[in-house]
Amino acid sequence: MENSYTIENYLKAIYKLSEKTTDTVTTNDIAAALSTKASSANDMIRKLALKKYLKHEKYRGVQMTDKGNKVALNVIRRHRLWELFLVKTLGFKWNEVHVIAEQMEHVVSDDLINRLDHFLGYPKFDPHGDPIPDANGKIQKLPLIPLEELKKGQSGTVTAVVDHSDAFLKYLEKHQLNIGCKLKVIDRNEYDNSLNLSINKNQTLHVSSTVAANLLIKIQ
């Protein structure tokens, strides 16, 4: 019933790759996601398929099974709860927590995680705005739109980020662009796809298309 640290990492990564595509996930994608070689990924794919976490058709890629999704969602639940704990309780900045949570997500105890969940007030989202699966593996998927797709005049709330890197998160801090901010697109520059925004109705900001692609917005 126990999975190795490595198996948990593979299933989490494959789950996330599956989220991004409708068709099967490839060996190369998996290898890239885990910074390993295709042959290593292939070995693990065979093992995971044997354990019924994946369906694997040779040369055709893989698909998660329900059993696999369950494990992956549990790892993601642990990761995101710990991330929130690190930010909310220990005062880390949201760009500092990923590496630590990567380790903590492998501490196995349902009792622990459910108590942590309770302690944090049964949160629905982590500090990056990503949804936290509940104890049954249910995950709340909001219909979020990248800021770059908003039309002139449209407004919404910053709800999550795509890029979790230090650099991006520092940029957001610097410009006071936090999760929860209300935005409105004042103008679109069609030449470079940059945007003029109003933030919380009291300031304006000009952002590049790169930034706009990495902010996910909830439309009211």
Partner DNA sequence: AATTTATTTTAGACTAATCTAAATTTAAAA
Partner DNA sequence: TTTTAAATTTAGATTAGTCTAAAATAAATT
Angle, vertex CA 144, rays to CA 143 and CA 149, nearest 5? 125
C-alpha dist (Å) from residue 80 to 12, 39, 41, 188:
12, 30, 25, 34
Q: Name the token pair of 149.
A: 């797709």
Q: Is 65 in the site for DNA (CB under 7 A)?
A: no
Residue 148 interacts with, from DNA, its own copies, none (CB under 5-8 Å by kind): none
28 binding DNA? (CB under 7 A): yes
Say what angle helices 5-20 and 66-88 make with each other, to 10 degrees: 100
45 binds DNA (CB under 7 A): yes
Look at residues 154, 159, 178 and name the one whose alpha carbon lies nearest to residue 168: 178
Positive or negative, the Cα torsion across 53, 131, 18, 162? negative
User: Which of 16, 19, 21, 37 touches DNA by CB under 7 A?
Assistant: 37
| Minimum distance, C-beta of residue 103 to its own copies, in the bound complex (Å) | 4
Instruction: Candidates 4-12, 81-89, 121-129, 184-192: pick the segment binding DNA (CB under 7 A).
Output: 4-12
Please say which residue, 4 or 140, places its beta carbon nearer to DNA. 4
- Contact residues toward its own copies (CB under 8 A) are 86, 89-92, 96, 99-100, 103-104, 106-109, 111-112, 115-116, 119
